[in-house]
Amino acid sequence: MDDQPGDDFNAFTIGYGVNNTDRGAGHAAFAEGTRHFGVTSMFARAELVQVETELLLHGQPDSAATVTRNTVGAFTVGGVRDLWAPRGFEAGIGRDVTFYAVPDNLKATYGWRPMSFQVFVRVRPPSGPMGRIWNMRMSAPMRHAMPHE
C-alpha cells in the first residue's frame, strides 16, 4: 500500500428515521465516525431504536390498541488494516465489537449484557472515472451544471 499523507481523513454521519405502521410510529437514530490514518481505519457507531416489545418476545405484534415500545441501543467500535491494492482493488482485514443496551423486560430473552464481535475481510472495487469522494460535503452546492435530460 502506498498511502500518501493526503490519504488520511475523518468521516462522520448522523441519521434519524421514523417507521410509521398501523400500530404507531417507532423512531431510530444513529451516529458514526471513522478516522483513517496510514493503512489503519478506526470507527465507532452508536444506535438507538424503538422496538415493538411483543414482536421481539413472541414473534407477533401486540393485539391491543396501544403497542408497548422500548428503546434498545448498540455501540460498536472497531478497526480495519489495509493489506494490499491489486489493480485498483483495496483489501483489508478488520474486527469490531458491539455492546447492546436492552430494557429490563427484554433481558430474560436477550441476556443481561449482550455483545457480539466479528472479524471480516473488506474488498473495495476500483474507483470510477470520477474517483472517490474525498474532502467533500454532501451539503455543499455543486460547482458545475448538470446536463438536463
Say what the pLDDT of residue 5 is: 44
User: Has residue 132 got a pLDDT over 70?
Assistant: no
Cα-based distances in Å from 59 to 23, 62, 99: 15, 10, 23
Say what the pLDDT of residue 27 is: 96
> Tens digit of pLDDT for each residue in 49-90?
998 888 878 777 766 666 788 999 999 999 999 998 888 888
Write the Ramachandran bin of 30: left for phi over 0, alpha for psi from -120 to 50, otherwise beta.
beta
Element (H, E) at 32: strand 24-37
User: Has residue 146 got a pLDDT over 70?
Assistant: no
* CA gap 9, 11 in Å, rounded: 7
Indicate the pTM of the whole model.
0.76
What cell does 99 get? 455492546
Q: Is the CB of residue 38 less than 8 Å from the CB of residue 4?
A: no
- Judged by average pLDDT, the poorest of 9-13, 70-74, 86-90, 103-107 is 86-90
Mean pLDDT for the chain overall? 84
User: Has residue 4 got a pLDDT over 80?
Assistant: no
